[in-house]
Amino acid sequence: MNNEYLKEKLNTLSLEQKIGLLITVIVEGTTYSPAFEGYVLDYHCGGIRVVPSDRFQQKLVLHKRDRDVGRQNVDRLYVTSKDADAPSVTLAQYSATVKTYLQQAMAKSGIPLRVQFDQEGGFSRDLTFGGAHVFPKPMGLVAGDNPQMAYEAAHALGRMARACGLNMIHSPILDVNVNPENPEIYTRAFSDRAEVVAEYALQQARGFKAAGVIATGKHFPGRGDSTMDAHHEIPVIDIDYDTLWNRDLLPYRVLIENDALPAVMTAHTIYPAVDDKEVATLSEKMLKGVLRDKMNFKGVITTDALGMGGIILKYDIVTACLKTLQAGADMFLLRMVDGADPIAHIIPKAVARIKRAVEDNELPESELDEKVYRILESYANAGLFESGGLPAESVDDVLNDQHIIEVSREVNGKSICLLRDEDHLLPLAPNTRALVIEQRYPRIYCPHDGGWYSGILYDQLRRYSDELSYIETNSIATPEEEQTVFNYCDGFDLIIMSNWFYRSNIKSNSDLVEKLIARGKKVIILANTPYEKQCIQKVARNVIVQLGVTPLSIEAAADIIFGKCKAEGRWPIEYRP
């Protein structure tokens, strides 16, 4: 598709349509969301960020025609139960929902809808239900010791995404996780070595491109050297410029030089070596000065969610929407991190504020046009104009593709490392008697369908032993659950226990692990990060590390425990707990 076509398309857009194209909004659930009509059809929002496994409270469905004449009180209500889960559907059914969004957007404007998603691996992903192939975390791909498999996994994931109607992914993760106490990045990074991150991320980005998915490198310029979580705080990474350039920015430089990075997502973090006042998302020095001018990045710059603590602790979201555009971003993501959904109130205010800024030359329209053109160009390069974003393959054809099945099994199997077997327990003999303690995760992280559910570890272990007992806890055991464990644990010489970590308030079950070891129990720990603070205590003598919990990695871990195979994963980082 030539440049003239894109310029002609740009020239047909009204100012409101141009502004709308910069906005990405959350659309949650597995079935049709009526809020889509207000977001995209009324306010021309160019992208949606899907969250199929969750349902946020969505109080208003926008009607621009009424709001324009001051009749906000006639907006439709759409209030879900606070604790309601999204309906369980197949991937094919979900694809039909997304197809409806794609067709409505194309009919409205003739411009494809960008449908963004996360699929970082393990618990951090949007597609797990309905038989989806779930891959390990980036660090798990490095454990497989084969960059080509990073390409194969990304290509397989990209095909699955496009079959569902999704066309823009918030990966590869280019953070270099040099801080073992990082609460936010950990195994989401490929490694704590910049050159390894660059090598594997380049292959992953190429895999996405081959599948027609727009890759987004994040979190620029790098969130690996942090002890704070930007979802809730304003982190400051106080490193010198040479370190930033040669370490944190190295993966970006490699991908940009290889024309493998169509988009970049910004970090809500302050880097005093470049700008000691603003987070990168709002910093002209960082976005225009470093990314555009010094690194010669020509692609799309998007923000992380503007409802994160790294933004709203300093600015209201409407102000942040304008400031990030003035700083150099091309699009912004409207999402709150506390589960609330204030988007219906924000969109008209943000559109009005940006429109006024363009009219007053605070944001020159020529600069706005450059942003819109870059977005359209990314669509063209991914082939979205020809297809309207509609799937070229069926979901079932992709799920049943034998090559994808083999890739999934291989990368999951090789993402597991044996860290310690100090009590020489492994492999266990068939029909070993043991107590299995397994964590239960909320449905947004574990679909609780026939493919992945609480108790799946126990079921996989039972293939080898009929002498296993089972106790289930929350990700962090409650006092009542701990008491249940203590009531029964003395009847067992051996305990097999998951100690899977997830960020925010999920954490891990480390306190219970330490209490059991203090009681003299032999415990085999299944951890999912390589870090002591998160899930591998010094006192843990027998540790298997799954670098991305998935159904296939759980199956492989059971095989390793009972000796069907050995752990093949290579330790992916320099740090060891």
List residues with catalytic annotation: 231, 304
| 264 in Cβ contact with 291 (< 8 Å) | yes
Helix or strand (DSSP H, E) at 28: strand 23-28
Token pair in block for residue 233: 């705080």
Distance between CA atoms of residues 550 and 537, nearest Å? 23
Exposure pattern of 499-516 as b/e (b: 16+ CB <10 Å)? bbbbbeebbbbbebbeeb
Beta bridge partners of 117: 169
Q: How far is CA 570 from the centre of its chain?
A: 24
Dihedral Cα 143, 147, 150, 156, nearest 10 deg: -130
Q: Which of 230, 222, 275, 292 is nearest to 251 (CA)?
A: 222
Whose tokens are 């705080």? That residue is: 233
Distance between CA atoms of residues 68 and 62, nearest Å? 11
Beta bridge partners of 544: 418, 526
How far, in Å, are 87, 421, 456 from residue 569 at the CA level? Answer: 36, 15, 22
What are the phi and psi torsion angles at 462 (to 5°)? -65, -15
Distance between CA atoms of residues 414 and 399, nearest Å? 21
Q: Which of 256, 251, 122, 261 is nearest to 191 (CA)?
A: 251
Using CB atoms within 10 Å of the CB of residue 429, give its burial: 0 to 12 exposed, 13 to 18 middle, 19+ buried.
exposed
Cis peptide before 430 (omega within 30 of 0): no
Cis peptide before 219 (omega within 30 of 0): yes
Token pair in block for residue 69: 């004449």
DSSP state of 281: G
Q: Which of 302, 351, 297 is nearest to 38 (CA)?
A: 351
| 310 in Cβ contact with 269 (< 8 Å) | yes
| 38 in Cβ contact with 67 (< 8 Å) | no
β-strands 270-271, 275-279: how paired?
A: antiparallel
How far, in Å, are 30, 149, 231, 393, 445 from residue 400 at the CA level? Answer: 22, 19, 37, 12, 24
Beta bridge partners of 496: 436, 524
